[in-house]
Amino acid sequence: MFSNGRFPALQSRDFRLFWFGQLVSLSGTWMHSVAQSWLVYSLTHSPLYLGIIASLASLPILLFTLLGGIVADRYPKRTVLMLTQFLSALLALTVAVLADFGVITVWHVGAVAFALGMVNAFDVPTRQAFLVEVVDRTAITNAIALNSVAFNGARILGPVVAGFVISLAGIPACFYLNAVSFIAVLAALFSIRERHAEYRNTKGLLGELIDGWRFVIHERAVFRIMALIAVFSLFGIPYLTFMPIFAEDVLSSGVTGLSILVASAGIGSLVAAAWIAVNDSISRKRAFLPFAALVFSAAITALPFTGTLLAASALIFLAGWGVVSFLATANSFVQHAVPDSLRGRVMSLYTLVFLGFAPLGNSIVGIMAQVIGTLPSLKLTGIICIIMSVLFAQSFPLRNGASRS
- Name 54's Cβ contacts closer than 8 Å, sequence gap at least 6: 113, 238, 241, 358, 359, 362, 366
Instruction: Report if residue 2 sits inside a domain.
Output: no
Listed in order, strand segments (DSSP E) in 67-222 are: none
Instruction: Report if residue 26 sits inside a domain.
Output: yes
The whole-number pLDDT of residue 107 equals 92
User: What is the domain-level CATH number for residue 288?
Assistant: 1.20.1250.20
Into how many domains does the chain fold? 1
The whole-number pLDDT of residue 97 equals 95
The whole-number pLDDT of residue 297 equals 94
Q: What are phi and psi of 338, to 5 degrees?
A: -85, 140
Find out whether 264 and 316 touch, Cβ atoms under 8 Å.
yes
Instruction: Report if residue 61 sits inside a domain.
Output: yes
Instruction: Report if residue 4 sits inside a domain.
Output: no
Rounded Cα gap, residues 155 and 256, in angstroms: 15
Instruction: Report if residue 3 sits inside a domain.
Output: no
Q: What is the pTM of this model?
A: 0.76
Instruction: Report if residue 1 sits inside a domain.
Output: no
Instruction: Report if residue 148 sits inside a domain.
Output: yes
Find out whether 175 and 96 touch, Cβ atoms under 8 Å.
yes
Domain residues for the domain of 246 are 9-402
Per-block average pLDDT, block size 10, for the chain (405 residues)?
A: 63 90 91 90 83 81 87 86 96 95 92 94 90 79 82 78 89 95 94 66 67 81 90 88 79 79 83 78 69 93 87 92 89 80 83 81 82 86 93 76 41
